[in-house]
Structure 1
Amino acid sequence: MDFEYLFQLLCGGLVKGSIYALIALGYTMVYGIIQLINFAHGEVYMIGAFVALIISGVATLSGYSGLSVLIVAAVVAAIYAAAYGFTLEKIAYRPLRGAPRLSPLISAIGASIFLMNYVQLAQTPDFLPFPELVPEFEFMEPLLQYVSSVDMVILVMTALTMVALTVLIKYTKIGKAMRATQQDQVMARLVGINVDRVISATFVIGSVLAAIGGVLIASRTGQINSAIGFMAGIKAFTAAVLGGIGNIPGAVLGGLVLGVAETLGAGYISSAYEDVFAFGLLVLILILRPAGLLGKAVKQKV
């Protein structure tokens, strides 16, 4: 066995899985609190990438380049995506909170289609080049045959983001309110928690994570278009279900497992069946463990 080739595939899979994990966290946070699959989440990821493209393009024309431009573009994209997430929850989901569960699901699909076509009309359906903003780091020279500087930035930023999210959920006031709302919305209201504000904050945080993922993957692939959010959203949703929908560590684990499985399958069998490996793994896990890798089976009272 060529261990060097295997290590290279594993590194690529971890990078891809990190992006899936960032987007999957938004899915699983929203589902954990209001049991809603936000199918417009992938389009927020796509919008974040387009905002970063515009910011980096303006910076490049102004003579600026490098990692600092990527950071500024990511921050602006995160703020812009947060506004979209807040607006989506306010317009598409909050009025339907007491409706049958199928109604918000249809609303989510409609919001996804609307945002995709909105960006397509506002920009272009064609692929647009994304500038190279991450320089090659000299200290990484021994590793460059396995991972690029962009990959290293993705892994580091993903790790930092996940640590920050964990601290937020466990130790901050809004994080404790999120956990209380997830357990019981009625009791949360009775103890003075503004449930509507908590749900809006959840959408905002999830949108920020999606935007960061969009900026990172755009800087890696070097191109974006208005359709990138659809498949990324489906894969991230798959990762969330794989790890256990509603479980934050499960979303991270599901994303990493999915990314590695896709890369190994593409590397050793065929890249044409990359999606088959992803969804085949999901089916297998759900047959053997329906609640997902870290999910817990919920007992329903009859």
Structure 2
Amino acid sequence: MDFVTNCAADVADQFWAQTRNGLTLGSIYAMIALGYTMVYGVLQLINFAHSEVFMVSTVAALYAIPFFGVTEGDPATGLSAVLIFIAVLVCCMLASGLVALLLERLAYRPLRKRGAPRLSFLISAIGASLFIQYLFVLMDGEHYLFPIRGIADPLGMPLMIIGLALAVVAGGLLLAGVRRGEAGWVDAGTLTGFGGLAALIAGLVFVVKLPDILGPTPQSVPELFATSTVFTLLGTPISNKRLLVVVVTVIMLVILDNFVRKTRMGRGIRAVAQDPQAASLMGVNINRVIVVTFLVGGLMAGAAGLLYQTVLSAPAFWFIGFRPGIKAFVAAVLGGIGNIRGAILGGLLLGLVEAYAVPCIGTQWIDVTAFVVLVIVLLFRPTGILGEQAGG
């Protein structure tokens, strides 16, 4: 009882400050969640590689910001800061949009053409996610994002590759057994044992050897412009960075809403989401709609990545997309996955819930909040707040 009383008192004391924080993070979650919800609406597919589309944006910022003359300890000011931010924003959006297009073209389209089962799409999404992550792990350039030249143990990389290869082989055998519908030429016990062995080896390699392979800590991205208080609202200072997040998010969401509702392609996206076969008979190019859907989701994730990096001073890191990506997925489910406005609502609500939980449980446990929200939603409203109930 004392915990509840103290929690309520702390939330009341910090209400407006945490509301500011929640709306800031919620805006970013909403923009990422749009990628999940739009792809699901069109393809009935959860694109688990969307977190890496977000991650690419932070890496693009690492290279784009110095390219435009901003260095560590020397942020831009005045009109130049605005122009450089717009230029970097465009670069980040294009980088993420390109990766999203490549995902659609290389990871998902071949499966669609073959009429593959949904399990294949899920496996492809996870594989694409891991591929993008470790592609950036191996990057080596001017900033040496993850230099591998100073590996402490020369066996680290080969062992990692062997472990991954065994896991892939086990996965292939498992799929073969599943597709046959029976044990056939491979005994189920052997299949399970080999899969477990490969997973164990891969797990040991990752736990023991991965720190040696990755090398130094993630690279910090130069601060684009200095933080300053723009105004005070209800006793809560509003910084230029937090205000920027909300303004950019509102602009992007208004543009997206108008695009989906008032353009021919937007109407095509809605038509495919409602009934792909009927849309195809009406002359809608399904493949083009899918490509545009991935592109729009990638552009939104790219903008969210730069805003996330700007307001939180997040580093360029191969795994940085995991937590925001998972939370954005929860936001999409909360609002009603497949519903664009539901994704926006879910993102804002999740951001506020997380922020209000901070005074009670502290920042070290804040990530648990998203999973608690997910469990509650799945128990009491599986279709989400704005989702349609089955048969209703």
TM range (shorter): over 0.9
CA contact (8 A) 2:231 2:237 kept: no
Distance 2:343 2:300 in 1: 13
Distance 1:257 1:61 in 2: 35
- CA change 1:82–1:151 in 2 (3 A) is same
2:256 aligned partner, one-letter code: L
The answer to whether 1:249 aligns with 2:356 is no
Q: What is the CA RMSD across the aligned residues, in angstroms?
A: 1.9
Distance 1:297 1:141 in 2: 43
Structure with greater Cα Rg: 2
**Aligned residue in 1 for 2:207:** none
CA contact (8 A) 1:285 1:292 kept: yes
CA contact (8 A) 1:128 1:223 kept: no
Give the secondary-structure state (helix, strand or coil) at the position aligned to 1:147: strand
Partner deviation per Cα, 1:147-180 (whole Å, 9 max, x = no partner): 3211100001011111111000000011011111
Deviates more, 1:127-136 or 1:23-32: 127-136
5+ residue gaps in structure 2? 1-8, 140-144, 147-213
Deviates more, 1:67-76 or 1:201-210: 67-76
* 2:372 counterpart (268, 280, 294): 280
Distance 2:116 2:87 in 1: 40
Residue 57 of structure 1 and its aligned partner are, at CA, apart by 1.4
Distance 1:264 1:243 in 2: 19
Give the secondary-structure state (helix, strand or coil) at the position aligned to 2:337: coil
**Aligned residue in 2 for 1:54:** 63
**Aligned residue in 1 for 2:191:** none
**Aligned residue in 2 for 1:19:** 28
Give the secondary-structure state (helix, strand or coil) at the position aligned to 1:258: helix
Residue 134 of structure 1 and its aligned partner are, at CA, apart by 3.4
**Aligned residue in 2 for 1:141:** 231
TM-score (norm 1): 0.93
Residue 103 of structure 1 and its aligned partner are, at CA, apart by 0.3
Distance 2:54 2:314 in 1: 14
Give the secondary-structure state (helix, strand or coil) at the position aligned to 1:193: coil
- CA change 1:244–1:61 in 2 (3 A) is closer
Residue 136 of structure 1 and its aligned partner are, at CA, apart by 4.8
- Write the mapping of 1:192-207 to structure 2, written as runs, cut at 5 A: 192-207=283-298
Give the secondary-structure state (helix, strand or coil) at the position aligned to 2:222: coil
**Aligned residue in 2 for 1:40:** 49
Residue 235 of structure 1 and its aligned partner are, at CA, apart by 0.9
Residue 67 of structure 1 and its aligned partner are, at CA, apart by 2.8
The answer to whether 1:101 aligns with 2:191 is no
Give the secondary-structure state (helix, strand or coil) at the position aligned to 2:311: helix
1:117 aligned partner, one-letter code: Y
Partner deviation per Cα, 1:200-232 (whole Å, 9 max, x = no partner): 000000000000000001111213211111111
Deviates more, 1:266-275 or 1:58-67: 58-67
Count of matched residue pairs? 299
Partner deviation per Cα, 1:70-126 (whole Å, 9 max, x = no partner): 211110111121111111101100111221111011100000001011111113253
CA contact (8 A) 1:189 1:195 kept: yes
Give the secondary-structure state (helix, strand or coil) at the position aligned to 1:146: strand
Residue 238 of structure 1 and its aligned partner are, at CA, apart by 0.8
TM-score (norm 2): 0.73
Give the secondary-structure state (helix, strand or coil) at the position aligned to 2:14: helix
Deviates more, 1:67-76 or 1:85-94: 67-76
**Aligned residue in 1 for 2:187:** none
Give the secondary-structure state (helix, strand or coil) at the position aligned to 1:228: coil
**Aligned residue in 1 for 2:247:** 156
Distance 2:376 2:75 in 1: 48
